[in-house]
Amino acid sequence: MGALSETRPISLWNVGGVHFGQGAVAQCPIGLAERGCTRAFVVTTPHVSNLVASLLAQLAERGIAAEVWDRLAAEPTLTEFDDALRTARACGADCVIGLGGGSVMDVAKLVAALFDGRQQIEDVIGVDRLAGRTLPLVCIPTTSGTGSEVTPIAILEDEADELKKGTVSRHLVPDVACLDPELTVSMPRAVTASTGLDAMTHCIEAFANRFAHPIVDSFALEGVRLIAANLQRACDDGGDLPARAAMLRASYYGGLCLGPVNTAAVHALAYPLGGRFHVPHGIANAILLPHVLRFNLEAAPARYAQIAAALGVERTGNDLRDAETGIERIEALSRACGVTGGMSAHGISSNAIPHMAAAAMTVTRLLDRNLRVVTEEDAFRIYEAAL
């Protein structure tokens, strides 16, 4: 990996307002009332119904009525998005709130963007194809993984192609993000682990990336450091509020990396696991991360040694050795948080590998950022190692 340039152009599209800390969710109705909103469309899931009830009460105090859509079964599909969009239009929403994990926020972002009907979802899949967004948008994460509350990205699953597809546009960046660690304490251990490892993957792939940039590096390394120090704590004790706050901050840092730099081969290879076999996104990343890192290691040992240091590995002066120790540290953290087994533990056999390798090759927007060129044969071997 060559020297990074401080002068290479880079664009960061920032949220209009970020509110962080206990009680930050109260800023949501305030921000919407200031924008003159009177009817909110709330995208969420039944898993956080108690949080929804509290939010609805706060909205009502500001004179804002709400329609709740909570029919998201798992990671969002095109069909579910269509249902959400129809419901938002039918209720005459004048603003959108996403309260939940990354899947919820991605649906909310696309509903706000496509509400006016100028474009269809098929028109905006890809990079910079979205013409604009007319409805105000607030995102409130209840997990610490995707950082979707600050990214210009939304991901949906195309059921026909059995592959996740992304829309990338500055118009998807929310107007307001409310990061309240109290909203994350009820996250189950498995979800805490999965989302936390997803955030770690964001940070690692953004730092070791063909498009890496110094302005993003600081976010990435601090995210890795926070996750290494706090993920197991948050898994072991969901009520550990300092650990929850640290993880929410790490997820936020990971999200800040995604717009200007984005991820690479781990995510590209993870998409078929989610699209075809419905492996949770964070788990798919955790399974593949060590194998992709070992594939990439020769391309930038010094960068991976810096990641190892952020993970808590004491530097020896041997970058390759330190980087490998860092990968072992990631594997140990995954096990400690209850993420064990490879793809076969999720019902994926070797027979599926050719199809998955071919599907992964279509995710060029991420593969183009990987430090090493990944061929279909390379993808095949990585999947074999991850079985």
Predicted TM-score (pTM) of the model is 0.96
176-210: per-residue pLDDT in tens? Answer: 999 999 999 999 999 999 999 999 999 999 999 99
Closest CA to 100 of 76, 136, 120: 76
Overall average pLDDT of the 161-181 stretch = 95
Closest CA to 287 of 205, 194, 192: 194
Helix axes 214-236, 319-336, angle to 10 degrees: 40
341-356: per-residue pLDDT in tens? Answer: 999 999 999 999 999 9
Overall average pLDDT of the 206-229 stretch = 97
- Three-state DSSP state, 213: coil
Q: How confident is the model at residue 120 (pLDDT cuts 50, 70, 90)?
A: very high
Q: Measured between alpha carbons, how far is 255 from 56 in angstroms, rounded to an integer?
A: 27
Residue 21 main-chain phi, psi, to 5 deg: 125, 170
127-148: per-residue pLDDT in tens? Answer: 999 999 999 999 999 999 999 9
Overall average pLDDT of the 289-317 stretch = 98
Q: How confident is the model at residue 2 (pLDDT cuts 50, 70, 90)?
A: low
34-58: per-residue pLDDT in tens? Answer: 999 999 999 999 999 999 999 999 9
pLDDT at 339: 96
Statement: residue 5 has pLDDT above 80: no
Closest CA to 140 of 103, 198, 95, 180: 180
Placement of tokens 């530097």 in the chain: 315
Overall average pLDDT of the 239-250 stretch = 98
